[in-house]
Structure 1
C-alpha cells in the first residue's frame, strides 16, 4: 500500500501546486507559470543527484528521454493555460481521463497486464469525471460532455490528460532503465533549464520577471518537488495505469481548493463526482 499513499501524496501536491500558482501567479502568462516552480526547484533537484547517485543507465533511457521531455513541456504549459483561464474545479478533475489513455499506452509500451477490478476502478474514476459536470445534464445526457467544450480550460485539460498518459508511460520506461529518483531529478532539472533558455531566447519571459516573487517561487518549488518525488517512487512500485488512476484523485483536492480559495460554484455535483472517483481508487488499491 506504500504506492497508494505515495500516489495520493502526488495527487495532493499536484492540486496544491495548481491552486498555489493560480492564486499567486495568474498575473503571469501560462508560459511563465509553467516555468516558475521548476525554475526555483532546479538547484534543489540538481543538488539531489549527487546524494542519490547515478545508477546504471539502460538502453531505453535516452530514447525515452528524447521524446518524453518535449511532450512534457507541451503538456505542462497547456496544464497551466487551462487552470489560468477556467475554474480549478472544472479543469483538474478532467485529468481523471488519463487512466483511459494509460490503459492502452501502458499495454502497448510496457506490456502491463491489468486485472478486471483494476479496469473497473479506472472506469469508476472516469464516471466520476462525468458526474463532476453533471449540472449540465439539464441540457440532456450529453450535456456534461458538451459542457467540456463550452469551458475552454476543461477541453484543454482533456488534451493534457492524453499527453500525461504518454509521458507517464514513457517516464516508467526511464525508471525501469535507471532509478525513480534519478529519473525525476534528471528530467525536471533538464525541463527547468531548457524551458528557461527557450522562453528567455524567444522573449516570452525575462530573468527579472521570473525572480519578482522569490519567496512564493520557493514555496512553489518545494510543492512541485514533493509531487515529483511521490510520483516517481509510486510509479516504480505498481502498474503505470494504477498509479496514474490514484493520482487523478487530484480532482478531489482541486474541488475543495476551488470552493475554499476561489469561491467556485456548482460544488455539489463536483463533490459527488469526487466520491465516485474515490471509490474507484479504493477498488484499485484493494483488488487491482
Structure 2
C-alpha cells in the first residue's frame, strides 16, 4: 500500500501549504501570492524533470493540462478568498466533499469506480467533514448543512471541492500522459502566468516590492506545492482517483491541528471527533 503512504504525505504537505497561505494572506495580495508560489512550484518540478529527462507527451497531454489549469485557477481564487474570511478549520473541511463528487466524475471520465467498502470509507470521510463544519449551538442534523450556505467561506470551499472533483481526473491524465514531475510543472507555470497578469491588471501598490520582498516565503510555499504534487502524483499513478483524493483529504485533520495550534481556533472537541471519523474512513479505504 505504498500509494496510501504517499497520499497521506500529500495530505500533510497540502495542509501545510494552506496554513502558510493563510498566514501570508494577511500581508500579501492573493494574486501576488499565487504568482510567486506557483512559479517556484513550477521551477522546482521543472528542474527535477530536466535532470531526469523530459518525457514524451501523450495524446491527451495538452488537453488535460489546459483543462486542469483552468479549473485550478478558479479553485485557487475561491480558496484564497475563503481563507481570508473564515476559519481554517471550517473552510478546509469543505474540500473533503471532493471524494463524493469523484465517485461519479471518475467513473464518467476515467471508468474508475471504488468497491462497496471503499465507498463506505469515502462517505465516512465526507461525514467527518460534515461534523467538522458543525458548531456546538446547532440542534438538528441539518444545521451544519445549512451553515455551509450561511458561511461564505465554507460555501466557496464547497464549490472548490466540486471543481477539484473534476480537475483531479485531469491531474491523473496529465501524469499518465507525461510523468510525476513535468506535466504538473507546466500546470504550475500556466497558473503563475495567469495570476501574474491578473495582478498587473489590479494595479497593486508597490507590486515590485511585494514580489521581491516575499521571495523566501514564496520559495517555502513553492516547496510545499512541489512535495504535495509529487506525493499525490505517485499515488495517482498506482491507485484510482477517488481513493487517492479521499486519503489526501486527511489534510483536514492536519489543518484542524494547525488551526488550533497556529491560529488559536476553538471548538476543539467537536473538530477532533470529526477528524476521528475521517481517520476511520481512511482506514476503511486502506483495508478495502
Compute the TM-score of the two structures, normalised by the length of structure 1: 0.93
Task: Determine the C-alpha separation between the residues in 2 that align with 1:137 and 1:183.
Answer: 46
Between 1:73-82 and 1:250-259, the stretch displaced more is 73-82
Task: Determine the C-alpha separation between the residues in 1 that align with 2:40 and 2:114.
Answer: 38
Aligned partner of 1:279 in structure 2 is 280
**1:101-140 correspondence to structure 2 within 5 Å:** 101-135=101-135, 138-140=138-140
Q: For 1:244-286, what per-residue CA distance to the aligned partner results, in whole angstroms no more than 9, with x for missing partners?
A: 0000011101110010011101121111001000110111112
Aligned partner of 1:56 in structure 2 is 56
1:262 matches 2:263: yes
Shift of 1:38: 1.3
Task: Determine the C-alpha separation between the residues in 2 that align with 1:185 and 1:28.
Answer: 23
Against the structure 1 CA distance between its residues 204 and 115, is the aligned structure 2 distance closer, same or farther, given a 3 Å change threshold?
Answer: farther
Shift of 1:52: 2.7
**1:120-199 correspondence to structure 2 within 5 Å:** 120-135=120-135, 138-199=138-199
Alignment partner of 1:135: what SS? coil
Task: Determine the C-alpha separation between the residues in 2 that align with 1:208 and 1:228.
Answer: 29
| Number of aligned positions between the proteins | 287
Task: Determine the C-alpha separation between the residues in 1 that align with 2:140 and 2:60.
Answer: 47
Between 1:2-11 and 1:22-31, the stretch displaced more is 22-31
Against the structure 1 CA distance between its residues 280 and 195, is the aligned structure 2 distance closer, same or farther, given a 3 Å change threshold?
Answer: same
Between 1:77-86 and 1:134-143, the stretch displaced more is 134-143
Aligned-residue RMSD, C-alpha: 1.7
Answer yes or no: is the 8 Å Cα contact 1:106–1:112 preserved in 2: yes
Task: Determine the C-alpha separation between the residues in 1 that align with 2:83 and 2:52.
Answer: 34
Compute the TM-score of the two structures, normalised by the length of structure 2: 0.93
Against the structure 1 CA distance between its residues 237 and 207, is the aligned structure 2 distance closer, same or farther, given a 3 Å change threshold?
Answer: farther
Shift of 1:108: 0.2
Answer yes or no: is the 8 Å Cα contact 1:42–1:193 preserved in 2: no
Q: For 1:211-247, what per-residue CA distance to the aligned partner results, in whole angstroms no more than 9, with x for missing partners?
A: 2222222211212211111121111110000000000
Between 1:118-127 and 1:131-140, the stretch displaced more is 131-140
Alignment partner of 2:138: what SS? helix
**1:234-253 correspondence to structure 2 within 5 Å:** 234-253=235-254
Aligned partner of 2:222 in structure 1 is 221
User: Which stretches in structure 1 are left out of the alignment for 5+ residues?
Assistant: none
Answer yes or no: is the 8 Å Cα contact 2:125–2:279 preserved in 1: yes
User: Which stretches in structure 2 are left out of the alignment for 5+ residues?
Assistant: none
Task: Determine the C-alpha separation between the residues in 1 that align with 2:24 and 2:49.
Answer: 30
Alignment partner of 1:180: what SS? coil
Task: Determine the C-alpha separation between the residues in 2 that align with 1:137 and 1:60.
Answer: 50
Answer yes or no: is the 8 Å Cα contact 2:101–2:165 preserved in 1: yes
1:84 matches 2:84: yes
